[in-house]
């Protein structure tokens, strides 16, 4: 669990302070441009609050589970972007994510951009083929990519997925059916899978799914 005293803290509005970087690189084929600004929208939710970063073309580029600013800051720095928190922002992504978390949506229709290596992007796009309410093993994903011996590499790429929920890495499980490896924590992974089985939000218990109340406090 990240400490509230560690790392930069986000103001209600304005830029999150990051070291300067030269360019924002899109590894999916777009041209390399100058340093960019990402608008950050916030979804307040009792079980799973989110930070949603959208680039200047209104494409979703990063989803931070439990509204943790640290992963978003590190990802933006790596890609030369400055995330700006906008109190009044309301993105299409936030609307659809809320509908999903309330059990009212099982398919997303949100423009997005993938920032990662060619192999990582292949894995992330394959995640989108896992139907709502179903799961796949890492070995099955590797086989679907035509590389049955790359389950470990697939697992590493899965762990770097910048767009959880939209690209559902929580639907990937171990070979024995065990719930393994999820950046939002295994209790959250279990909660999401139950949400999809039952088409309604499971009961939420304070403290069960990480440090959401703490992180929401960073934004007033």
**Residue 197 — φ and ψ, nearest 5°?**
-70, -40
Record the tokens describing residue 160, joined without a space.
């770097």
- 173 neighbors 179 (Cβ within 8 angstroms): yes
- 99 neighbors 165 (Cβ within 8 angstroms): no
210: annotated active-site residue: no
Burial of 128 (0-12, 13-18, 19+ CB in 10 A): middle
Catalytic residue among 169, 172, 173, 192: 169
Q: How far apart are the first and last CA of the chain?
A: 20
Record the tokens describing residue 46, joined without a space.
């009792």
Using alpha carbons, select from 176, 214, 166, 171 the residue that is nearest to residue 189: 171
**Residue 15 — φ and ψ, nearest 5°?**
-75, 145
Is residue 136 classed as helix, strand or coil in its secondary structure? strand
Is residue 143 classed as helix, strand or coil in its secondary structure? helix
Q: List residues bridging with 82 in a β-sheet.
A: 37
Active site residues: 169
């Amino acid at each position: 669990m990240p400490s509230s005293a560690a790392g930069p803290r986000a103001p209600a509005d304005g830029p999150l302070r990051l070291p300067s970087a030269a360019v924002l690189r899109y590894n999916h084929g777009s041209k390399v441009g100058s340093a960019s600004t990402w608008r950050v929208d916030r979804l307040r939710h009792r079980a799973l609050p989110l930070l949603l970063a959208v680039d200047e073309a209104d494409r979703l580029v990063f989803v931070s589970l439990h509204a943790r600013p640290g992963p978003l800051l590190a990802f933006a720095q790596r890609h030369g972007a400055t995330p700006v928190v906008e109190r009044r922002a309301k993105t299409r992504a936030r609307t659809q994510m809320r509908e999903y978390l309330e059990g009212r949506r099982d398919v997303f229709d949100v423009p997005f951009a993938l920032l990662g290596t060619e192999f990582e992007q292949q894995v992330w796009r394959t995640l989108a083929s896992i139907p709502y309410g179903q799961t796949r093993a890492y070995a099955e994903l590797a086989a679907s990519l035509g590389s049955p011996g790359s389950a470990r590499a697939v697992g590493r790429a899965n762990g770097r997925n910048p767009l959880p929920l939209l690209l559902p890495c929580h639907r990937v499980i171990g070979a024995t059916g065990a719930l393994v490896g999820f950046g939002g924590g295994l209790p959250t992974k279990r909660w999401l899978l139950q949400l999809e089985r039952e088409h309604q939000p499971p009961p939420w218990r304070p403290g069960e799914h990480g440090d959401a109340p703490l992180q929401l406090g960073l934004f007033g």
